[in-house]
Every structure is written in structure tokens, then in C-alpha cells.
Chain A
Amino acid sequence: MNKRAQLFFLLLVITLIASFVGHLFAGQVKITFNDYWNAVFHLDETNTNHLIVREFRIPRAVIAIIAGAGLSVAGMFMQTLFNNPLAGPYVLGINTGSSLFVAFSMMTGLSFLQSDLGIITSALLGALVFGFIILFFSFFTRHHVTLLLVGLMLGSFTGAIISVLQTMSSAQELKAFTIWTMGSLQHVQFDQLPLVILFFILGTIGSLFLIKPMNVLVLGEKSTELLGLNIQSVRIFTIVITALLTGVVTAFCGPIAFVGLAVPNLTKTIFRTQNHLILLAGNFIIGGIFLLISDSIIQLLEGTIQLPINAFTSLVGAPFIIYIVLKRLK
């Protein structure tokens, strides 16, 4: 790693810590540093501030990092796998798959499917199924925009199915699902955190084993095989890891748009490397920072307007993607 990359990592880690702390203090209720200290080390269950810290602030900040990092890393893998700077879990319909399966499980009325584990399982399964659908379509096109259009159509198609499901569901189920689709980092509770972290760690460990194949895949699929890697296993393993990272985030936070597309492009511009170890670490940190700051802004604006995280990332992300399209795919 060169001096420039080291300097960037140092700056990014400092920014990550700063935005994490900033996020903790960004909410509408004023909470002091002392409250944080005591809530963690000397919990007083009758103190509202302590409860806010444990039940809302800390889980929300941790989830922001996990969601940002997970989606960005997943996006990076998809961009390298499909050799396409416009690939990402949202635009290629991986989130959509999760949404569809979650919609099914929320609206069936079966209690297992409505539990945490039920929702996670559905989201993971949905992400996996749609991951393989996109992989299948990718064999028919080498063109960047074509694959994107397939992803978008897949999105419209599932959107329609979800609409039909919604007309058939009860008012309560409908409300739960609608809130879920808006995306939010605040629905995760303290006791759900271990489950989210567990899946996220699994995804991250899996990611480490994708670094080598991704570094080679940059040379193209033919070269990858001639350098001794089984291309079919590489593809499948990439989709599984991508689905795992996207699915767990989507299960708890709802679909979050554009993070997985914008952050990997930003990371590549900053580090100017094809070394996926550096890119993985970069996406992890920058993705975390991006969602921490986005969510801090949402919290600061809460008194004035209620902005769902999905709306916010689209507001910032969509123009950035237009910029990439115009700049890189003239």
C-alpha cells in the first residue's frame, strides 16, 4: 500500500469515528456524554435517557455502519463480477428480491414468517434468488446498460406483484410493510443487534475469500480460468456473499437505494487501485461514513421533516449515478 492510500485510510478512520460520535449526539433529545457513559456502564432502567441510548441511539449508529458497509461491499463485488460500474444490489434488483420475499412473509399472516428470523430468512432467500436471476441474464449480454435495464424491469415486475399482494393484505400488515419499504435505521432494537452483527460478520469473513478471485477477475473471465480459478464457483460464491450482505441489511432496514452503487465508484476514484483488499476496506469505511452522515442529517431534520433513509440516499445517489453515466459511458 502506498503512502497516499495510507494517508487516506488514516483520514477515513478518523472521519468514521467522528461521524459515529456525531451520529450518537444528532438526535432530537439532548443526551450528554455522561448519560452515554452511565447507560453503558451503570445502567439505570428508570432513567429515560439511558433507555434512549441503549434502545435507540447505539443500535441505530451500529446499524448505520453495518448497512453502509454491507451494501457498499456488496456493490463492489457486483461491479467487478459483472465488469460494470453501474452494477449494484439495488439497481440490479437484489434488494427487490428481498422486498418481494419479505412482502410475502409479512402478508401471509403466519407468525414464524413474521418473526425476526423469518424476515431475515425471507430477505436472504429473496436476495439469493434474484442474484441468480441476474447472473443468468448476464450470460446473454456484455453490455453495461442492458443488464441495468434488466434489473430495472425486474424491479417493476416485482413492484407490480407486491402491489397485488398489498391489495389482498390487512390494514395492519399493509402498514408494517409500507413502513419497512421506506427504509429506516431505527427499527432495529438492542436485542436484535447480535443477530444482525452475526450475519454481517459471516458476510465479511466470506468477503475476504473473494479478494483473490476479484483481483484476477479484473482481467476477464477467460484469464481467470487460465490462472487456475474455477469461474463457475467464483460466480456462485460472489452471488452468495452479495446476497448475504444485502439480504441482512434489507431485512432490518428495508431497501436502501444507491449506496451500493455510488460508494464503490467513489472508493475506486479515491484509492485508484484494483487491489480488492484495499477496495474492500475502503468501501467498508466509506460506506459506513456515508450512512452515518446521511442518517445524522435525517435526525437533525426530524423536527422539520420526516425523511426516510431510502429517500435521502436516492436524493444524493441518483445525481451521482447520472454523473457517472455521463462521464464514464459517453
Chain B
Amino acid sequence: MIQFNKVEIGYKQALLQVNKLELKKGEVYALIGSNGSGKSTLLNTILKKTPVLSGELLINSTSITSLSVNESAKTIAFVDSKFDGIEHLNVVDYIALGRTPYTNALGRLRPEDQAIIDNSIEKLNLEQFRNRATLKLSDGERQMVSIARAFCQSTPIILLDEPTAFLDYGNRKKLIETLSGIAKAENKCILFSTHDIDICLEEIGINLLVINQAKKELEKYPNTISKSEIISIGFDLGKE
């Protein structure tokens, strides 16, 4: 789905190198690294917010630079670390905005769009929040609603920037389980950055992408790796 070929990532100067990596459909990838190591920059590069410095970044075997804004929106959905809610905007209308890349110039929702919106609400168990104001949700609920919005965008890829950062333990665990479930059930490729190493290790089947602090390279590990190993690779506590 997403292929990296000696890709250099950074904002003006190289921050991180991804030598050979393929992110596949039906898999969840947790991106782990210290602050400032390039997690957000990596996500922004895939979102085309930050240009690739060198190397080849392919999505579905085509270079990301050749994707139009609209094609990108039909391929990649993005969820921010925090959605604060918006005055006078209720949950179902917010989720419906995920259909934007598919609607006509007047933004009319067709019956099939409506069906996809209903399906997203059902998949994420948000039925009781459907007509609730987005401002009146808890942080955990709002994050689930954001995921529903991304889900409704019907993209093969979903990226999330520290989706668990503002949640309590219960909601963190629930969110990561939900992502894992969606990836398997819907055959999507999901990549999220996080500092919740423990939960990612507990949840079976999550792939870990750790930014090697010393080598400035992104490396893939199975989640049988131990927490102390991740810390020594990614956080390099002793040496600084």
C-alpha cells in the first residue's frame, strides 16, 4: 500500500531515513519515537504537507507527488491528536464531512453516501451520539467520532497523529483496539504515532515502527519485542 524506497524525510534538512519499508493493507502500524525524532514529519510527508527530500515514496505503486488533492483525499484519511468540537456542529454532520471528496460541487449527499455515513456510525458504536453537539462530548468520545469521520472517507489508508495523547488509560486501550479491529475487518492500512508503548505491546498483531535514535532510521519490529529494547533503540536514554 505505502512503499518507502530510501526516503529521506525532514523539514528542509534530513531528520529521518526510511530505507526499505512496505506498509500493507489489513495491518496496523504504531509509530514510536522520541519527541522531535520526526514522527509528525513522517505523517506530514505521506500527507504531502512536507515534500520528500530524496528517494521514492509510493502509494499503490504510484509516486505520491502525482496524486491530485482530490485523489489524495480518496486514498488517505487523517485524524489529528485532538478535535476540540465545533459550535453548532453535531456528530452526524461532522462525520458526513468525510464524504466531501465524493460529493458534487454543491455538496449533495447521495443515498450511497448516507449509507456509508450510517455504516460508520454503526461500526464505531456511536448511535447514541448521532445528534449530540460535538462540543458536548468527552475527549474519548470525540476521538471516536473523528475516527468515524475518517472511516467514512472510504480510504484504504488512515493516518493518525498521536490519537491517544489526550485520553485516559481506558480510552487509550479502547482506541487502539478499535484501530486494530478496523484494519483487520475492513482491510485498511492504519498508521498512528504514539507514546503508548505498553498498550501497543499488549495488543496482538500491531506492528511497531521505531525511530532509531542513534541511526536516525525507521525500523520495523514485531510486537514480541520487549519494552526495554524499544526504549534503548528509540529513546537512547543513556547516551545523551
Interface residues of A (CB under 8 A from B): 208-209, 211-212, 215-216, 218-219, 222-223, 225-230, 268, 271-275
Contact = CB atoms under 8 A, between A and B. Distances in A.
Interface string B139-169: 0000000000000010000000000000000
A2 to B, nearest CB: 9
B216 to A, nearest CB: 27
Interface string B71-82: 011101110100
Given A219-B86, A228-B74, A273-B88, A212 B100 contact: yes
B89 A218 contact: yes
B154 to A, nearest CB: 12
Interface string B88-131: 11000100011011010111000000000000000000000000
B86 A227 contact: no
Contact of A215 (B77, B87, B107): B107
B199 interface: no
Contacts of B78: 223, 226
B226 to A, nearest CB: 36
B101 A268 contact: no
Contact of A228 (B47, B49, B86, B100): B100
Contacts of B13: none
Contact of B106 (A209, A230, A275): A209
A228 B107 contact: no
Given A227-B97, A228-B100, A212 B70 contact: no
Nearest to A276: B107
B69 interface: yes
Given A209-B106, A211-B106, A274-B93, A229 B69 contact: yes
B2 to A, nearest CB: 16
A227 B101 contact: yes
Contacts of B74: 228
